[in-house]
Amino acid sequence: MLTQQARLMEHLELHNQIDPLEAWTKLGIYRLAAVVHLLRQAGIKIKTERMEVSNRFNEVCNVANYVLEK
């Protein structure tokens, strides 16, 4: 397993979910969706939930929150 995939799996096993900002700041993963895709190809069940967040200009943006299915 590649380093980013291993870090993401460890985080999901401990915290059950992650969003792109958390992946970037805590795990150094810039393209979270790509790493999630690789894990899904390996047979890991990860659900995508959409959530609204505000950016620094107070504009509403939609991002994905990934949840490990147990």
**Does the model's pTM come out above 0.95?**
no
> DSSP letters along 24-53, please?
IIII--S-HHHHHHHHHHTT--EEEEEEEE
Q: Domains (ranges, CATH) in the chain?
A: 3-68 (1.10.10)
**One digit per residue, pLDDT tens: the chain, 70 residues?**
569 999 999 999 999 999 999 999 999 999 999 999 999 999 999 999 999 999 999 999 999 999 999 8
DSSP 48: E
